[in-house]
Amino acid sequence: QVQLVESGGGLVQAGGSLRLSCAASGIMFSWYNMAWYRQAPGKQRELVATSGSGGSTQYADSVKGRCTISRDNAKNIVYLQMNSLKPEDTAVYYCNAHKASRDYWGQGTQVTVAS
């Protein structure tokens, strides 16, 4: 059974930092492309950052320079370090694991940035 469990969300003041974690089980973690998405109220889910199985990373323009995605293949965990948080970063953040036709999602963790 595949499980992606996010943690690390919470309430933070604008300008603050959070580190999200996503622990994966039931998959060959190192083979998967991992990603963080977010969905704000009334908006579509959007891609935040990706960490390819080969080590590449990509970021949405809205978080570039403020967020860093990293992964620990030995621990089966992917992280999202978020700095200089803004109120518009408020959303539910979801972890995603993708490989070929296989696509898995976590349950999400709420991030709220107060102005």
Extract the tokens encoding 87: 């109120």
Residue 57: Cβ-neighbour burial (10 angstroms; 0-12, 13-18, 19+): middle
pLDDT-derived band of residue 24, with 50, 70 and 90 as boundaries? Answer: very high
Span 30-57, pLDDT tens digits: 999 999 999 999 999 999 999 999 999 9
Structure confidence at residue 43 (pLDDT)? 97
Span 52-98, pLDDT tens digits: 999 999 999 999 999 999 999 999 999 999 999 999 999 999 999 99
Local structure of residue 31 (DSSP, 8 states):
G
Establish how many alpha carbons lie within 13 A of residue 102's alpha carbon, considering only the half-sphere containing its beta carbon. 12
Contacts of 107 (CB under 8 A, 6+ apart): 4, 5, 6, 94
pLDDT-derived band of residue 3, with 50, 70 and 90 as boundaries? Answer: very high
Local structure of residue 85 (DSSP, 8 states):
-
